[in-house]
Amino acid sequence: MFGYLLKRVLIAIPTLLAISAVIFFILALAPGNPLGDLAANPAITPEVRENIRRSLGLDQPIHIRYVKWSLALMRGNLGYSFTSRLPVSELIAQRLPTTLWIIGIAYLLSVALAFPLGIVAALKRDTWVDRGITTLAFMGFSTPTFFSGLLLIIVFSVRLGWLPFIYDSTLQVADLGSFWQLVKQSVMPITVLVLFQTAVLLRFIRAAMLEEIPQGYVKTARAKGLSRWRIVNLHMLRNALIPVVTLVALDIPTIFTGSLVTEQVFRVPGIGALLIDSIYRGDTPVVMAIALIYAVLVVVFNLMADVLYGLIDPRVRYG
Amino acid sequence: MAIAAEKVQPGQPGIWRQLRGDRTTTLALGLLLLIVLAVLLGPFIYPGSPSDIDFSRALAPPSRELPLGANDLGQNQLARLLVGGRISLAVGVAAMLIAMTIGVLIGALAGFYGRWIDGSLMRFTDLFLALPQLPLVLLVIYLFGDPVRKALGQERGIFVLIVLVIGGLNWMSVARLVRAGFLSLKQRNFVQAAIALGANPWRVVKSHLLPNVIGPVIVAATLAVGNALLAESTLSFLGLGFSPDVPTWGRMLYDAQNYIESAPHLVMAPGLAIFLTVLSINTLGDRLRDVLDPASR
């Protein structure tokens, strides 16, 4: 297991390096000036601009800049924001907990919903139960998150007035009342993500379970007289999990994408919203850092899937 | 084993017979045709102007002369929906074509030549799969948007850029399935026989390998149109796609969200348009998969 793990980590490192290079070179080779407004500002004289360029190391050849940039990155130095003059890492640290809170809860809920629904749909294949569940899933994953979000706002905020449609970032959770407020303002963003994510997961799980139904070991287990519950949960599900884990890992980026849109719809002050704001402001260091964080998250989740894969399927570990 | 029996002929009449008998498919296909026709012919038939501004009817609710109401500038929403749909659908189809071209090319090269070509191309594919899609699309549009707009013109520039970026980030699944198909087909008797008989590589690919992977590729292409349409809508919804005078469906939603309290109808029409188009494309792709690619059912 240790050797397997080590191999996975060693594969992840070049991937991360390659991604950081892609992001760096896209920015460095962009035809616009990466200094954005700073360079276009007429109040800044050419000499000052040259000094800024030098202090940022922009006068050096591109490959040296990349090495310097990635070395600084490894020390956790993401640079400074152009507009707010704060370290980028500080800006992101302010925003990340909100994003992770929304995504985390949403993902847990969708897993909790998708497994039973997917299993039931597979076991009751081609009955009205299956058809109902798959139709709902189909609609769920064909609905863009921005549309479902706006629909929820129209129904629950505008028409019924039950939930606030703007996320209050200044809210401090001190007592039960403010916690209730946090729950109330998180309900809609989380629901939007759950609707979409459950639909995606459910389809994976249903398909994987359908693969297991005709297998010989299921017949054997039934012939041994094992209970249906035991066969489904201990035998079939364990085998079905193998493809599901891979697909779920490959699908992790979509939940970040979903959260980016959701944050925009509900004005949730997460890193997705920070990314969009920074793009509008031309705040390159922040844009770059967030794009990189998304990439790191994707690679980390893929790595976790590989580890889980090894835990579930011994053939992977030793093969 | 008969060689002919191993080939799947995508043009078989059986496929259409199977699809036509299915009620859901008919419904999805009908809906999609309706949307495409409306978008293609609608602007010629419907007399309303998509760009005329009339503040006296700003945020007007749906009525007889304005079936979908008017936006904050008093522009006719139905006319905008029809014109905008053209762009949204064009982006979807164009991005799909790019994704399919890259995907089939890379998958075919990797699957046909194997060895180090396969290894390096697949690492390349894995790298693309690990890229964070939406942030990267946003980044590229942010950086290259203005220069491309200047070089190719306001509307055409951003169209080319969006199509290239969306297509360029969606070819990986096609490459993988073409490669997997080629790898397993190469071992089959009829391909080995063709090679032994001295067929040149291009002929083997063209008449033996490609026709046998076309089924899954068609399925992937159908789903890719829906994905690209969603990606474009998302971009426009974030305010980073087309400019405000190009009313794509995503852009209309972006503009509508500020008036969600006073004019919720502005959200419904473009939102439903995106939803129904994507839903019918996905349904069609799903059904096609059942017929063309029974192994993955």
Residues of A in contact with B129 (CB under 8 A): 250
For residue B143, give the chain A residue with the closest CA.
A30
Residue type (1 letter), B178: V
pTM here? 0.81
CB A163 within 8 A of CB A180: no
d(CA B123, CA A216) in angstroms, rounded, equals: 36
CB-nearest to A147 from B136, B274, B286 is B274
Dihedral of CA atoms B154, B155, B160, B162 in degrees, nearest 10, equals 100
* pLDDT > 60? residue A38: no
Task: Name every residue in B having a CB less than 8 A away from some CB of A.
Answer: 126-127, 129-136, 138-140, 142-144, 146-147, 226, 230, 233-234, 237-240, 250, 253, 256-257, 260-261, 264, 267, 271-272, 274-275, 278-279, 282-283, 286, 297
Domain membership of residue B5 (yes or no) is no
Of B3-17, B91-105, B116-130, B242-256, which one has max mean pLDDT? B91-105
Cβ-defined contact of B132 to A22 (cutoff 8 Å): no
Domain membership of residue B25 (yes or no) is no
* pLDDT > 90? residue B99: yes
For A142, the 3-state DSSP assignment is helix
d(CA A136, CA B141) in angstroms, rounded, equals: 34
B279-294 mean pLDDT = 82
Chain B nearest CA to A175, separation (Å): 31
CB-nearest to B130 from A165, A280, A299 is A299
Going from the C-alpha of A197 to that of each of B82, B154, B222, the distances in angstroms are 31, 36, 21
> What is the percent of chain A with per-residue pLDDT over 90, rounded to a whole number?
0
Cβ-defined contact of A256 to B127 (cutoff 8 Å): no
Domain membership of residue B189 (yes or no) is yes
pLDDT for res B4 = 43
Q: How many domains does chain B have?
A: 1
DSSP characters for chain B? --HHHH---TT-HHHHHHHHT-HHHHHHHHHHHHHHHHHHHHHHH----SS---GGGTTPPP-SSSTT-B-TT--BHHHHHHHHHHHHHHHHHHHHHHHHHHHHHHHHHHHHH-HHHHHHHHHHHHHHHHS-HHHHHHHHHHHHHHHHHHHH-HHHHHHHHHHHHHHHTS-HHHHHHHHHHHHHHHTSHHHHHHHHTT--HHHHIIIIIHHHHHHHHHHHHHHHHHHHHHHHHHHHHTT-SS-TTS--HHHHHHHHGGGTTT-THHHHHHHHHHHHHHHHHHHHHHHHHHHH-GGG-
For residue A32, give the chain B residue with the closest CA.
B143
d(CA B43, CA B45) in angstroms, rounded, equals: 6
Mean pLDDT, chain B, as a whole number? 80
Domain membership of residue B205 (yes or no) is yes
ipTM: 0.79
- Token couple for A214: 């005709």
For A166, the 3-state DSSP assignment is coil
pLDDT for res B6 = 45
pLDDT for res A30 = 64
Going from the C-alpha of B58 to that of each of A314, B241, B248, B263, B280, the distances in angstroms are 65, 24, 19, 10, 32
- Token couple for A299: 């690679």
For residue A23, give the chain B residue with the closest CA.
B136
CB A266 within 8 A of CB A163: no
Cβ-defined contact of A297 to B132 (cutoff 8 Å): yes
pLDDT for res B1 = 37
**For residue B47, how many C-alpha atoms fall within 13 Å in the half-sphere facing its CB?**
1
B274-279 mean pLDDT = 90
Domain membership of residue B66 (yes or no) is no
For residue A302, give the chain B residue with the closest CA.
B130
- What is the phi/psi pair of residue B70, to 5°? -130, 155
A-B interface: how many C-beta pairs under 8 angstroms?
Answer: 126
- What is the phi/psi pair of residue B62, to 5°? -55, 140
CB B141 within 8 A of CB B160: no
Each residue's pLDDT tens digit, A212-248: 888 888 888 888 888 888 888 788 888 888 778 877 7
DSSP characters for B195-263? HHTT--HHHHIIIIIHHHHHHHHHHHHHHHHHHHHHHHHHHHHTT-SS-TTS--HHHHHHHHGGGTTT-
Residues of B in contact with A19 (CB under 8 A): 127, 130-131
Domain membership of residue B135 (yes or no) is yes
pLDDT, greater one: B88 or A19: B88
CB A271 within 8 A of CB A249: no
* pLDDT > 80? residue B182: yes
Chain A nearest CA to B137, separation (Å): 10
Residue type (1 letter), A233: N
For residue A282, give the chain B residue with the closest CA.
B142
Going from the C-alpha of A165 to that of each of A151, A177, A249, A267, A306, the distances in angstroms are 11, 18, 31, 8, 39
- Token couple for A241: 């999990």
For A8, the 3-state DSSP assignment is helix
Cβ-defined contact of A158 to B261 (cutoff 8 Å): yes
Domain membership of residue B181 (yes or no) is yes
- Token couple for A304: 């976790």
Among B68, B11, B35, which residue's Cα sits nearest to residue B274? B35
Residue B244 has a CB neighbour count (10 Å cut-off) of 12
What CATH number is attached to the domain comprising B172?
A: 1.10.3720.10
Residues of B in contact with A281 (CB under 8 A): none
* pLDDT > 70? residue A44: no
List the domain range (segments joined by +) for residue B193.
85-279
Cβ-defined contact of B234 to A144 (cutoff 8 Å): yes
DSSP characters for A196-257? HHHHHHHHHHHHHHHHHTT-HHHHHHHHTT--HHHIIIIIIHHHHHHHHHHHHHHHHHHHHH
> What is the percent of chain A with per-residue pLDDT over 70, rounded to a whole number?
86
pLDDT for res A317 = 64
Q: H helices then E strands: how many in chain A?
A: 14, 0
- What is the phi/psi pair of residue A80, to 5°? -115, 145
B183 burial (CB, 10 Å; 0-12 / 13-18 / 19+) is middle
Each residue's pLDDT tens digit, A199-214: 888 888 888 888 888 8
CB A236 within 8 A of CB A213: yes
* pLDDT > 90? residue B101: yes
Domain membership of residue B224 (yes or no) is yes
Model confidence band, residue A40 (pLDDT cutoffs 50, 70, 90): low
- For CA atoms A110, A116, A119, A125, the dihedral sign is negative
- Token couple for A206: 């249903």
CB B95 within 8 A of CB B108: no
As beta bridge partners, residue B76 has: B70
Report the 3 state secondary structure along A31-96.
CCCCCCHHHHCCCCCHHHHHHHHHHCCCCCCHHHHHHHHHHHHHCCCCCECCCCCCEHHHHHHHHH
Chain A nearest CA to B257, separation (Å): 7
